[in-house]
A and B are shown apart, each in its own frame.
Chain A
Amino acid sequence: MDTSPYEAFAEAAADGIAFDGLSATTSDGQVEVTTPETSVTAPVSAPRGGLAPVEEYITDWFFWHQHAPQAEDRWAFLRWLESAEERSVPDRYEALGDGHTRSWGQLAVTVTLGEGGERRYDLRHEADAGTPAAELTGHDDPREMRDIVEADERGRYRPLKTAPTLVDGWVFHDIDAATLLEAIEYCYPATVANWHREREGELDISHWRETMERQTGIYGVIQTWDRGEGHDHVEWVAEACCADSQCLKRREWQYDGETDLSTDGGDGAFPCREPCSVVVSAARQWTKLEGEQSRTYEFELTPSEKEQLEALVDAVADGRAAEIREADLYDGANRYRTRFLRAKLFDDEGNLCGVPTSPEE
């Protein structure tokens, strides 16, 4: 782009500029610029020489007004990435010289300075921070992010984009702002838009009750789970699905506008504004299961067997079952231990201790 930052700046200064600590006006064919450090003037027709002492401010203004996408939310996000609201231009430029990194979910975004103050970005998994880009699989088309986010490290489909199961080993290196934003949008859709709304005090939260009351079709049944008998069931849903170990969004929705959940909503950078489709689908299943009445069963277990059942539930709930070593017989969720338990306690129909599920069986 040949419109140099200086000419563009001098032209815009006719309407007055106040940005990032700089102010500028024009009079009598001169552009007058004041920064916290100095004041300079230069001819509007040939501003470059006179404005050279405030070059960083000029290129900063130029990037944010000519290069950066102007959509309010994405603009604010790019500013946040380089902590623009907290740091002066000279401080920022010094930091960007080495690269300034912030995390967004499991992403690490590093901002550096390119030619003429243009920002360049490096986007990768936070686990790859510090790895030379050349050692990672390089990408430059944001659509390729769709392939990266599709499966976890075991090749299983990721139905929830904000699950903390993003694979590492890839990088979008030296990309521009538009490419960065598009790649992030494919990785964590709508998170920038909702983060911005929250910062502006405009996040439209739909709590559990109103979200479930909105459901129809096969999900209409979920409304019947709210029986005016408290909201323990929603606490359990939030603990099951929305903990940081399961989803990186920070849950902001509650039981309803008056009733907060006591379950921790997490520490994520971006908010969750309503129960997502995974929660809604799971809630449908739980609504059906929780419609059952409890019964009293009698099982004979050794103390270790009771503890082993608890260890099994923990291992599955924490996604640890596949990691337990084959010969780690100290772990109750070990496969041999579990097979032994089944061989000993299950009858031919798969009933624990031979106790039928229904008494009529």
Chain B
Amino acid sequence: MATLVIAAHGSHLNPGSSSPTYAHADTIRDVGGFDAVRETFWKEEPHFREVLRTVDDDEVYVVPLFISEGYFTEEVIPRELRLEEWDPEMWDSDGTDASQATLTAADTGQTVHYCGPVGTHEAMSDVIVRRAESVTGDDEVGEGFGVAVVGHGTERNENSAKAIKYHADRIRDRDRFEEVKALFMDEDPEVDDVTEFFESEDSEALRASGRSHGRRPCEDIVVVPLFVADGYHTQEDIPEDMGLTDDYREGWATPETVDGHRIWYSGAVGTEPLMADVILERAADAGAPVGDALDRVREVTGGAALAGD
């Protein structure tokens, strides 16, 4: 047997930051599949530096609860876990393909299967769709609806945008929604103009973006931020940027009407219970002997076997 370690960012300021991590860990703990499940954080305790010494097993699967490959998954987590042989090349990824690498922790001698982040796992597309279903209360949602997958944007890391586009493309290919867009907070196409990207095909924004698909305009738009936890960005920035509210403290309706569109804003995708599936999938892909834990987790989270490609 083995231990699953879920590695997340955490926060010095916001207690809600670690809530999804604990919730998904509890889901996996409750169905078994691992001797133990532990949470670890960059900004909370146990810190990445000290989590492995609290784990009994010699075999450890570390799944980063992060959205994209980049600074944290490629540099900070492996360094702080003391995976000295680590090299990002071991993932052999162009930004969304990381699976796992097997390494030894220098301070404990444990074998660590260091997995790619949850955010780039293909099952994450299912979580985004689930988010659209749960926020609209409609398991069949699709017809007449557009979906905007919202990410932070590049800032320091081009892979951040790749992950958003990767899932937007995958969901668009399913032909379930009228239109699927990847939008960003700090780069074009910006979430501020969300409604413009779901106008009729001859709308100015669509022509400018060169992404006209000849679709009908979407009166309803589901907006799913690809963030691990709700916090400043998902609960303050994005709602105000989109015009859901002038002041986040006053809240907003779901749906909220903006420029003649109904916006169904879901909040951070990472709080969706189905995320527990993705974490387990990551560990299973890395060879974790999870047995039928995936099936049992899906019974709890309502997940289906991977929609797949």
Contacts and interface: CB of A to CB of B under 8 A. Distances in A.
Contact of B50 (A150, A190, A214): A190
B232 interface: no
B54 A185 contact: yes
Contacts of B13: 157, 159
Contact of B46 (A143, A190, A197): A190
A155 to B, nearest CB: 10
B26 interface: yes
A151 interface: yes
A160 B79 CA distance: 22
A104 to B, nearest CB: 15
Contacts of B22: 143, 146
Given A194-B53, A214-B79, A217-B76, A189 B14 contact: no
Interface in B1-53: 11-15, 22, 26, 42-47, 49-51, 53
A190 B75 contact: no
A162 B50 CA distance: 14
Place the interface of chain A in its size category. 20 to 34
Interface in B233-252: none
Interface of B: 11-15, 22, 26, 42-47, 49-51, 53-54, 56, 71, 75-76, 79, 107, 156
A281 B12 contact: yes
Given A143-B26, A151-B15, A189 B43 contact: no
Contact of B14 (A146, A157, A193): A157
Contacts of A274: 49
Nearest to B56: A71
A329 interface: no
A274 B46 CA distance: 13
Interface of A: 71, 143, 146, 150-151, 157, 159-162, 185, 189-190, 192-194, 197, 204, 214, 216-217, 273-274, 276-278, 281
Nearest to A273: B50
A201 to B, nearest CB: 15
Given A161-B45, A277-B44, 4 more contacts: A189-B45, A190-B51, A273-B50, A278-B12
Nearest to A214: B79
B50 A277 contact: no
Nearest to A151: B15
Nearest to A146: B22
A159 B44 contact: yes
A277 B47 contact: yes
A151 B13 CA distance: 11
A190 B47 CA distance: 9
Contacts of B75: 216-217
A204 B45 contact: no
A281 B43 CA distance: 9
